[in-house]
Amino acid sequence: MKFVSWNVNGLRACLKKNFMTSFKNLDADIFALQETRMLKEQAIIELNGYQQFWNSAEKKGYSGTAIFTRVNPISATCGINIYEHDHEGRVITLEFEDFYFVNTYTPNSRKLERLDYRLKWEDDFRNYVKNLDAVKPVIICGDLNVAHKEIDLKNPASNHQSAGFTDEERGKFSELLSAGFIDTFRFLYPDRANIYSWWSNFRKARENNSGWRIDYFLVSKILADKISGASIEDKILGSDHCPVTLTVGEI
């Protein structure tokens, strides 16, 4: 199966920037979006063969997630059953016969003004996916808004303690992995440097490849031997993020 995850930074804008061409070319079985920033009815998106699942924020034009799947799920749920987190449209979970698929858009700590909330989110989200993992394997994807290691951003020294690279956020990501999950890209490419999934809109960051790897696919450790491919599609434009992919064998 092939999975794709993409923070589109506003789907309506991305639709005007060849989103559908990228969607078709990537040819995913399950395609997850973050930062859709819209309600489903605000655009007509015809995806033959795909079911659509949406979780929009209560605040208009903010956050939001969606999943397009051509594999029929058993069930779909929005959020993690904690209202403090769930009004921002940040999580969709699809249950399949042999695994759970969780699409998430982790809150940005916003120049650290939201760091305390972010850390609580991390604990609650980790507990949520651990509970799923106790039932069946889990595939987690999304914009997790953290560069885990120095190799995961261009300028680690000057960004130490910046939002997304604080010791606290990096530590919480380590805790998530220690809870039984694998960073699939690093599993396959532990030393691959200078490949990123997000670039600032300032100072020609993308042109200079001055980016961060903050978009991930994580899987339960039991799926380690099923991982057959992972990529960061940094040539695909349309957002300040690029798509990331995961390919797994039969689960």
d(CA 172, CA 178): 10
Please tell me which residue in 100, 105, 196, 216 is annotated as part of the active site.
Answer: 105
Name 225's Cβ contacts closer than 8 Å, sequence gap at least 6: none
d(CA 148, CA 127): 19
143 is catalytic: yes
d(CA 206, CA 211): 7
Helices (H), the chain: 11-15, 19-26, 83-86, 115-133, 156-159, 167-178, 184-188
Structure tokens at 169: 């956020």
Are the C-beta atoms of residues 187 and 223 closer than 8 Å to each other?
no
Exposure string for 7-26, b = 16+ CB within 10 A, e = fewer: bbbbbeebbeeebeebbeeb
Please tell me which residue in 133, 143, 152, 183 is annotated as part of the active site.
Answer: 143
105 is catalytic: yes
- Which residues are marked as active site? 105, 143
